[in-house]
Amino acid sequence: MLYIGVDIGGMSVKAGLVDENGSIIVKDTAVTRAQAPAEEIVADIAALVRKVADEGGVALSALGGIGVGSPGSVDDEAGVIRYSCNINFVRTPFVELLGGMLSVRNVKISNDANCAALGETVYGAGRGARNSVTVTLGTGVGTGIVVDGRLLTGNKSAGAEGGHVIIKAGGEKCGCGKRGCFEAYASATALMRQTARACERHPESGLAKLAKERGIDGRTAFMAAKAGDKVAKRVIGNYIRYVGTGLVGFANVFYPEVFIISGGISKEGDALILPLRRFVQKNAYGAEYNPPIDVVAASLGNDAGIIGAAALAMRG
Amino acid sequence: MLYIGVDIGGMSVKAGLVDENGSIIVKDTAVTRAQAPAEEIVADIAALVRKVADEGGVALSALGGIGVGSPGSVDDEAGVIRYSCNINFVRTPFVELLGGMLSVRNVKISNDANCAALGETVYGAGRGARNSVTVTLGTGVGTGIVVDGRLLTGNKSAGAEGGHVIIKAGGEKCGCGKRGCFEAYASATALMRQTARACERHPESGLAKLAKERGIDGRTAFMAAKAGDKVAKRVIGNYIRYVGTGLVGFANVFYPEVFIISGGISKEGDALILPLRRFVQKNAYGAEYNPPIDVVAASLGNDAGIIGAAALAMRG
């Protein structure tokens, strides 16, 4: 059976024809007319789905289903996009609209980060796991949680906001207005802040020199640490402890087979993943009696959204 | 259909015949010979199950199934009790043994705290909820998590140890050896420590006087606060913030319909529950857009284990 996975973004919509092995047979994109009326945006997506089915030589009626990942707040069960910061969806009954336009019955929708997590778990870095937590270390911190092969989304799909679990009560201010959130310590933005503070405190360090040359981003401290700078090594050591503390919290609740790390910071590869894996395996509750928890970097790249959306439809 | 729920304790085993409305038709108990060989303990339990079925006038072959809650580390899927601190179970294939002795096919087992959480969710304080987190505030902090009507236990049932989620990195030392665990702030033991510290700092307070009169337990600060003592009010206010911080973390991941508070501290009733509910409803991520999360006290008392174990068997 073949499925179509749709990954809606603020700039473009991507869609792919995906088989039951999670391989993309053909894919295509269309511009997102983000400020058009919602029905028109859905009609554009319907047209893209038709096109991809055509290109793959499969009739819509022969599809196993269509899965969709959308940014913003999505009520998976109702099939409704509640709102999306950058796209004109407000209480949009997406599943009903798209299903109606294409006469396809099995249409599923979830948040785009959830879809990517499902894709990585079923077909990517977590292949074979029944339980996983995907943590995206980017501008913020996103989490996608799979329990027994299914996305955990909470009542009305309001959950899986693991970036706002408090790991240090009374600690750093978070963008959400609270203090001590995981995101306030583990996002790329937080790492940049930690880097800037270290540079201020140690203007003589290799880290400070590098920061002066090329500005500060999520890679700066990793680069200086690789070059042997002690201050940078301390920044990275602390950052890994912060990320690890959040992962251990998730481990003690979910005890997944695997943590999948995605987002910009995950590109640091082993310099991030290996110490993080050691930290989790050492600190998870009951780790000495229980199966080890793996920590890996995401592997599907930009296709995770399409593949995960298709996987959503496969699960019925 | 009728089911038997078994609640194994270190001193006694309780078993009850339970109908599909979660009502106990008849129940009985037997002494736990905790240090006997495991097969003998299971044989004692088999005899108790037979007795309860007899008392209820139902043949074993007519039962829908048997559910069992055991203390310790249980692998639900394998039906094995890995170990239990107080009872002589070590890698005991409990489901196989009990099912064999009684010729009953549908036998299910889980940790006793998980069973109690399931009982409260399906038939007790959380009746009607599909997603719940039950938090037991006792000597330690236990959590039982229900997602979409099923217990969440993690890979090899090693999860749901929410007492060891870190809410204050680098904070109070926990019994597990780590620092900053939820349990180190929210258990009755932690509240007693917080109370003792306040008494030391404010020997003139009503709290200190009360503590001198009757010693310190989990009720002391609640009692003094009710009598109007400011120091005690501050202790309780901080304690509720600690408990609330943990609940908000769970809320942001699970977004359950309801938190169910059990254990000794839950007997404080509204003095605990009302401010905790306000804290969660104010601080959960996206609370202003999403359905409110309720916080309630457990309602099944000592029967939660029997009823929940039966519910486990009902779920197949």
User: B261: which strand partners?
Assistant: B135, B297
Question: Which residues on chain B are in Cβ contact (under 8 Å) with A178?
Answer: 283
Question: Which residues on chain A are in Cβ contact (under 8 Å) with B155?
Answer: 130-131, 255-257, 290-291, 293
Model-level ipTM above the cut of 0.85: yes
Query: Per CATH, which fold does A3-120+303-314 belong to?
Result: Nucleotidyltransferase; domain 5 (3.30.420)
Q: How far is A11 from chain B (nearest CA, A)?
A: 25
Find out if CATH 3.30.420.40 is the number for domain B127-298. yes
Per DSSP, B292 falls in state: P
pLDDT for position B188: 95
Look at B254 and A159 and tell me if their CB atoms are within 8 Å.
Answer: yes
Copy the structure tokens of residue B89: 């179970």
CB atoms within 10 A of CB B21: 6
- The model's confidence at residue A316, banded by pLDDT at 50, 70 and 90, is low
pLDDT for position B316: 67
> Percentage of residues in chain B with pLDDT exceeding 90?
90
Mean pLDDT of A102-112: 96
Fold match between domain A3-120+303-314 and domain A127-299: yes
- The verdict on A279 touching B (C-beta cutoff 8 Å) is no
Query: Looking at the predicted structure, is the pLDDT value of residue B86 above 90?
Result: no
Q: How far is A170 from chain B (nearest CA, A)?
A: 8
- pLDDT tens digits for A180-223? 999 999 999 999 999 999 999 999 999 999 999 999 999 999 99
Which residues numbered 181-220 in B keep a CB inside 8 Å of some CB on A? Answer: none
Mean pLDDT of chain A: 95
Question: Which residues on chain B are in Cβ contact (under 8 Å) with A285?
Answer: 161, 164, 176
pLDDT for position A98: 98
Mean pLDDT of A156-174: 93
Query: Looking at the predicted structure, is the pLDDT value of residue B85 above 80?
Result: no
Question: Which residues on chain B are in Cβ contact (under 8 Å) with A154?
Answer: 131, 253-256
For residue B91, give the chain A residue with the closest CA. A289
Q: Which amino acid is at B118?
A: L
Angle at A207 between CA A201 and CA A210, to 5 degrees: 125
- The verdict on A147 touching B (C-beta cutoff 8 Å) is yes
Mean pLDDT of A298-302: 95
Question: Which residues on chain B are in Cβ contact (under 8 Å) with A73?
Answer: 286, 289
For residue B174, give the chain A residue with the closest CA. A285
Which residues numbered 29-68 in A keep a CB inside 8 Å of some CB on B? Answer: none
As a CATH number, domain A127-299 is 3.30.420.40
For residue B164, give the chain A residue with the closest CA. A252
- pLDDT tens digits for B118-169? 999 999 999 989 999 999 999 899 999 999 999 999 988 888 899 999 999 9
Distance of CA B44 to the CA centre of its chain: 25
Look at A159 and B73 and tell me if their CB atoms are within 8 Å.
Answer: no
- The verdict on A167 touching B (C-beta cutoff 8 Å) is yes
CA torsion sign for B149, B316, B39, B48 is positive
Q: What is the DSSP string of chain A?
A: --EEEEEE-SSEEEEEEE-TTS-EEEEEEEE--TTS-HHHHHHHHHHHHHHHHHHHT--GGG-SEEEEEESSEEETTTTEEEE-SSS--EEE-HHHHHHHHHT-S-EEEEEHHHHHHHHHHHHSTTTT-SSEEEEEESSSEEEEEEETTEE---GGG----GGGSBSBTT-SB-TTS-BSBTHHHHSHHHHHHHHHHHHHH-TTSHHHHHHHHH---TTHHHHHHHTT-HHHHHHHHHHHHHHHHHHHHHHHHH--SEEEEESGGGGGTHHHHHHHHHHHHHHSTTTTTSPPPEEEE--SGGGHHHHHHHHHHHT-
- The verdict on B291 touching A (C-beta cutoff 8 Å) is yes
Q: How far is A199 from chain B (nearest CA, A)?
A: 24
Size of interface A-B (CB pairs under 8 A): 145
Look at A245 and B169 and tell me if their CB atoms are within 8 Å.
Answer: yes
Query: Looking at the predicted structure, is the pLDDT value of residue B315 above 90?
Result: no
Question: Which residues on chain A are in Cβ contact (under 8 Å) with B257?
Answer: 155
For residue B82, give the chain A residue with the closest CA. A289
Mean pLDDT of B107-119: 95
- The verdict on A154 touching B (C-beta cutoff 8 Å) is yes
For residue A171, give the chain B residue with the closest CA. B168
pLDDT for position B156: 87
Query: Looking at the predicted structure, is the pLDDT value of residue A123 above 90?
Result: yes
At residue B87, the 3 state secondary structure works out as coil
Q: Nearest Cβ partner of B161 from A170, A286, A291?
A: A286
Look at A242 and B171 and tell me if their CB atoms are within 8 Å.
Answer: no
Query: Looking at the predicted structure, is the pLDDT value of residue A157 above 90?
Result: no
Q: Nearest Cβ partner of A155 from B171, B249, B257?
A: B257
Question: Which residues on chain B are in Cβ contact (under 8 Å) with A152?
Answer: 147, 152, 253-254
Look at B253 and A253 and tell me if their CB atoms are within 8 Å.
Answer: yes
Distance separating alpha carbons of residues B145 and A77, to the nearest angstrom = 20
Q: How far is A158 from chain B (nearest CA, A)?
A: 6
Query: Looking at the predicted structure, is the pLDDT value of residue B279 above 70?
Result: yes
Distance separating alpha carbons of residues B121 and A252, to the nearest angstrom = 21
Indicate the domain borders of chain B.
3-120+303-314, 127-298
Q: Which helix (H) or strand (E) holds B230?
A: helix B230-254
Q: How far is B295 from chain A (nearest CA, A)?
A: 15
Distance separating alpha carbons of residues B89 and B95, to the nearest angstrom = 13
- pLDDT tens digits for A221-258? 999 999 999 999 999 999 999 999 999 999 999 999 99
Look at B255 and A156 and tell me if their CB atoms are within 8 Å.
Answer: yes
Distance separating alpha carbons of residues B210 and B187, to the nearest angstrom = 21
